[in-house]
Amino acid sequence: DTAVSQTPKYLVTQMGNDKSIKCEQNLGHDTMYWYKQDSKKFLKIMFSYNNKELIINETVPNRFSPKSPDKAHLNLHINSLELGDSAVYFCASSQGLPGISGNTIYFGEGSWLTVV
Amino acid sequence: TQLLEQSPQFLSIQEGENLTVYCNSSSVFSSLQWYRQEPGEGPVLLVTVVTGGEVKKLKRLTFQFGDARKDSSLHITAAQPGDTGLYLCAGGATSGTYKYIFGTGTRLKVLA
């Protein structure tokens, strides 16, 4: 069974469209994340939720809106897509608050978003 | 802003060679992790170090956390083609903001 699963894996869409990426984890973790990895492989945190509460909201355009209906799900909705949004988006989860005591982050396989 | 710089950025070596990857910052971290990412997949945790000066070994991989908890190194002995991948260090914030900060990455290719 996949621990952190995200869909779709590949997404090609036109500028201006709205799209969503879904994420589910079956590890029983209480913290979930969205990371963005650019073409240079730099991995940057976008959002983090702990027990459905937003705890990290980095400098991300407000066109990006995360939604956590429950502890096991964290979806990412993107409005008015731009060329610069093309990247790989990783969903991840961990048990406990991030950055403390070296909690392991479990990543999904990534969603390759291409905006044309 | 806490930043983690990794060096080298790219590394291509022959099977059997040794190598060291560095992860440096001017900031102190509560913990330091190393991940390996293979093409088409998400990063996978290799090790976590939490104490300054700590050394951990994972088969042919040796990880060290700097005494001041600002830097770390990953040493691979007798590299194999299976070690090929993107290596990422990640630092845990010390307080205030609950997040991991990822390094700039080192792309390793081991040639058979």
- Residues A99 and A101: their CA atoms lie apart, in Å, by 7
Task: Kindly identify which residue of chain B lies nearest to residue A97, measuring between CA atoms.
Answer: B98
Chain B CB within 8 Å of residue A12 CB: no
Write the DSSP symbol of residue B82: G
- Which residues in B lie closer than 8 A to residue A90 (C-beta atoms)? 42-43
Residue A4's identity, in one-letter code, is V
Best A35, A43, A93, A97 residue to mutate vs chain B (most B CBs within 10 Å): A43
Contact B98 A101 (CB under 8 A): no
Per-residue confidence (pLDDT) for residue B100, from 0 to 100: 87
Average pLDDT over chain A reads: 92
CA distance A79 to chain B (A): 25
Quickly state the pLDDT bin for B97 (edges 50, 70, 90). Answer: low
Contact B92 A100 (CB under 8 A): yes
Read off the pLDDT of residues B10-42 as tens digits, 9 standing for 90 and up: 999 999 999 999 999 998 998 899 999 999 999
Read off the pLDDT of residues A22-72 as tens digits, 9 standing for 90 and up: 999 999 999 999 999 998 889 999 999 998 899 888 878 999 999 999 999
